[in-house]
Structure 1
């Protein structure tokens, strides 16, 4: 039943956010054990590949579904995605987990801006107002001039959200490709690029650190597959609100692993950013229904 698929999509999205929040905590933990940014990025992609291949092999068409005629599109998505990964992992390393997660909630805000500027989508005063409210929430979290949240880390966190929104736009052009195929080409095309700087940062580690690096890739790959699966099962407006559960996991991991809790102003600013994002998602859903009703043929 359609309702069952929506519930399954919501459950998958919650699982995906748990996996990706766990990956962020493992990235920060690996850095505390001496791993560098490019090491974590390389093993994130390398160890995700077996997970993705196993997923694809069990699906329709098996490994043959990896063949594609959209290599240029996958290449563009991968180039933007790898830059976004630098900023995403960089934000996790520069900021407490809760604050790094909070800046990810600005993705709908950037998606609105990019939709208007790049795709020439019509954006009304209500959505622009939501964008302004969202950035007001960012200012509440950052508190320019205070030392609670580094401004440099906040900028990296916002750039990470911007590139996630850019990837979402590029993925629209690949929506006819199976999700496993898209994830496979992202890992495969970016590995050689990441391997170049990684070659200059080769380091010896103990067994626990290597296990940590491997876990980043395995958990990250599972999270990415769950994320794409949720998008296929349920409307975006139904599953996106589940993303805010990431703040719970980030707070828990930050406290358990690093003895850090969100700043008081993060608790004030995060709901403002979340409310802005939810309004944008609700507004897009409402406009989509109106357009469908307008386009429907008369009886």
Structure 2
């Protein structure tokens, strides 16, 4: 899971380089998303051909809806990191578990206790702090990151539904396969010829995302979800480190405070979910 966090932060770093003038004329977020899906799709396709997992098309419409939200979330995130520090954009995107929780209440009828409500309130307050409404340093990029969190939260809800019928590799195959089609259709109107460095960055972006997905899925398979999930929040540390090393950018005190609040809320939620799903010990015989 730590490896997944490092790779996810690397994807946002590469997206920032592609969306700014670091490697040439800035690319449109649609084109950066195309690179993510195209080259990650090739890597996942190679794994699918090698392992030949069982794939069913019975849930195709739900896979398509999941891809639509995933594509939207990734595109908004890539647009956000071009304008605000990586750590802040990453922190705002971590609101997606809260979004998923709210959607689960609305559409799946799940109940929310006081601990989960408190965790959501802390995280949402941190997100509001990062968005900074009514201040002179308001960043539109923060709203883009918030949109990414909303879309990715909906994607999490759909993934939870799909795991009831499909295996992890099948879900990844549909995600990247359908994602390539959607990304190709949307990139055509805004396509511009990348430089050699930009091509290399797009390849690295796709491969890093494929590695992140592989690490994430395998992390979940090898230990309890409640134990491994909190480690994904180290993505925030990697994002801040990468941004400082390559762009010399660090969030200010408000940025770190808001990020800490979001991560705190997410960790409390992960802890509560772990306790809620922990198997109860068998009753001792009398």
TM-score computed with the length of structure 1 as normaliser: 0.86
Q: 1:209 and 1:35 mapped to 2: Cα distance? A: 9
Contact 1:95 1:149 (8 Å CA) reproduced: no
The CA RMSD over aligned residues, in Å, is: 2.1
Aligned to 1:168: 156
Aligned to 1:123: 112
Aligned length in residues: 280
Q: Alignment partner for residue 35 of structure 2, among 29, 39, 43?
A: 43
Q: Measured at CA, do residues 162 and 181 of structure 1 come closer, stay the same or move farther in structure 2, by a change above 3 Å?
A: same
Contact 2:44 2:176 (8 Å CA) reproduced: no
Q: 2:160 and 2:150 mapped to 1: Cα distance? A: 16
Q: 2:283 and 2:154 mapped to 1: Cα distance? A: 34
TM-aligned CA deviation for residue 66 of structure 1? 4.1
Contact 2:119 2:266 (8 Å CA) reproduced: yes
Aligned to 1:14: 2
**Is 1:55 aligned to residue 47 of structure 2?**
yes
Aligned to 2:271: 282
TM-aligned CA deviation for residue 21 of structure 1? 0.6
**Is 1:110 aligned to residue 102 of structure 2?**
no
For structure 1, the residue ranges without an aligned partner over 5 or more in a row are 1-12
5 Å-filtered alignment, 1:70-219, equals: 70-150=59-139, 152-175=140-163, 176-219=165-208
Helix, strand or coil at the partner of 2:82: helix
Contact 2:37 2:183 (8 Å CA) reproduced: no
Q: Measured at CA, do residues 193 and 56 of structure 1 come closer, stay the same or move farther in structure 2, by a change above 3 Å?
A: closer
Contact 1:77 1:167 (8 Å CA) reproduced: yes
TM-aligned CA deviation for residue 206 of structure 1? 2.1
Q: Which moved more, 1:152-161 or 1:21-30?
A: 152-161
Helix, strand or coil at the partner of 2:175: helix
TM-aligned CA deviation for residue 149 of structure 1? 4.8
Q: 1:233 and 1:166 mapped to 2: Cα distance? A: 25
Q: 1:246 and 1:149 mapped to 2: Cα distance? A: 24
TM-score computed with the length of structure 2 as normaliser: 0.90
TM-aligned CA deviation for residue 257 of structure 1? 1.9
Q: 1:125 and 1:187 mapped to 2: Cα distance? A: 37
**Is 1:271 aligned to residue 263 of structure 2?**
no
Contact 1:96 1:260 (8 Å CA) reproduced: yes
Contact 1:97 1:254 (8 Å CA) reproduced: yes
TM-aligned CA deviation for residue 65 of structure 1? 3.2
TM-aligned CA deviation for residue 288 of structure 1? 2.0
Deviations 1:208-227, CA, capped at 9 Å, x for gaps: 11111111111111112221
TM-aligned CA deviation for residue 67 of structure 1? 5.0
Q: Alignment partner for residue 234 of structure 1, among 223, 228, 232?
A: 223
Contact 2:131 2:143 (8 Å CA) reproduced: no
Helix, strand or coil at the partner of 1:293: coil
